[in-house]
C-alpha cells in the first residue's frame, strides 16, 4: 500500500500551545491517535481508548494535509499511545518529519511500547533523526501499570529525549528517584505532580531535599490556562 493511503484511527488534530516539557509555551499542532495498551488509574484522556470509539479515521496524506493548515513548527504526536500502530506509526512519523517547516516532533509514548523499531527509524531517516524526540512517560506505582514498563527503552534514549515521571505520592517519588539514579543515562528527567495527591510545592521541596539537580519540574500549564477537563486545547 502507498504510504499516503495508510489509515489510522484518530481522536483529534488541533492547534494550541504545548503545556509541558521542553517545548512548553510554543504553538504546537497536536495529533492524537486512538488506542492505548495501558489503563492508568489517573489517565486524563480516557476518550482515546476502548470502550470509547475513534472519532474518525484518516489517511497519512489527510493527516499531513490537516497539519499543513497550521503554521506551527512543533508537533506533539500523542494518544492514547501513538506508537501502538507499529509500522503505520513509523510511516506517519516519516511523513510528518518530511514537512519542510516542521522542526520538532515530540512523541509522547507510555513506556510499555518497545522503542527499538522507532529508534531504528531515527537512525535510517535523516529527517526523523533531525526532528524527533521521545517523551517517555514511565509509569509509577499509583498509575497501576508499573509492571508493564520496558526498562530496555532507557538505553535507546538520546540527549534530546525526555523521561516523564507523573508522581502521585511519596512511593512514586522514591521509585522515580531510583529510576533516575540507576536507569537514566541520556535525556532530561521530568517530575510532574498529580495535583490531587501531590502539590507542586511539596514535589519541589522533595526534589531539593534529595539534591536531584538533573531533574526538571514539569507542570501541565494548559490546565492553568483552561479548565483541566477541556478538550482540544
| Chain segment 42-65, per-residue pLDDT in tens | 888 899 999 999 999 999 999 999
**Inside any domain, residue 233:** no
- Would the annotation count 19 as a binding residue? yes
**Inside any domain, residue 231:** no
Cross-strand partners of 9:
57
Predicted confidence band of residue 196 (pLDDT cuts 50, 70, 90): confident
- Would the annotation count 42 as a binding residue? yes
137 vs 44: CA distance, rounded Å = 14
- Would the annotation count 76 as a binding residue? no
- Would the annotation count 3 as a binding residue? no
**Inside any domain, residue 83:** yes
123 vs 90: CA distance, rounded Å = 13
Strands 132-138 and 104-109: parallel
**Inside any domain, residue 198:** yes
pLDDT at 227 over 70: no
**Inside any domain, residue 152:** yes
Q: Where residue 101 sits, what CATH number does that domain have?
A: 3.20.20.70
Domain that holds residue 19: 3-225
Q: How many domains does the chain have?
A: 1
* Mean pLDDT of the chain, nearest integer: 94
Amino acid at each position: 500500500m502507498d504510504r499516503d493511503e495508510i489509515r489510522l484511527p484518530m481522536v483529534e488534530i488541533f492547534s494550541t500551545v504545548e503545556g509541558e516539557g521542553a517545548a512548553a509555551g510554543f504553538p504546537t499542532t497536536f495529533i492524537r491517535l486512538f488506542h492505548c495498551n495501558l489503563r492508568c488509574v489517573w489517565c486524563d484522556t480516557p476518550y482515546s481508548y476502548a470502550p470509547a470509539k475513534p472519532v474518525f479515521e484518516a489517511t497519512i496524506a489527510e493527516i499531513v494535509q490537516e497539519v499543513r493548515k497550521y503554521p506551527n513548527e512543533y508537533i506533539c504526536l500523542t494518544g492514547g499511545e501513538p506508537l501502538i500502530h507499529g509500522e503505520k506509526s513509523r510511516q506517519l512519523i516519516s511523513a510528518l518529519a518530511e514537512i519542510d517547516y516542521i522542526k520538532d516532533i515530540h512523541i509522547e509514548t507510555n513506556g510499555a511500547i518497545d522503542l527499538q523499531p522507532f529508534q531504528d527509524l531515527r537512525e535510517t531517516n535523516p529527517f526523523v533523526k533531525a526532528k524527533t524526540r521521545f517523551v517517555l512517560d514511565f509509569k509509577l506505582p499509583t498509575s497501576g501499570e508499573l509492571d508493564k514498563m520496558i526498562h530496555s527503552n532507557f538505553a535507546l534514549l538520546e540527549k534530546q529525549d525526555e523521561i516523564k515521571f507523573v508522581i502521585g505520592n511519596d512511593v512514586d517519588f522514591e521509585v522515580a528517584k531510583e529510576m533516575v539514579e540507576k536507569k537514566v543515562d541520556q535525556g532530561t528527567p521530568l517530575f510532574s505532580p498529580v495535583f490531587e495527591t501531590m502539590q507542586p510545592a511539596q514535589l519541589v521541596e522533595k526534589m531539593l531535599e534529595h539534591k536531584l539537580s538533573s531533574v526538571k519540574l514539569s507542570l501541565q500549564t494548559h490546565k492553568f490556562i483552561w479548565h483541566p477537563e477541556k478538550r482540544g486545547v
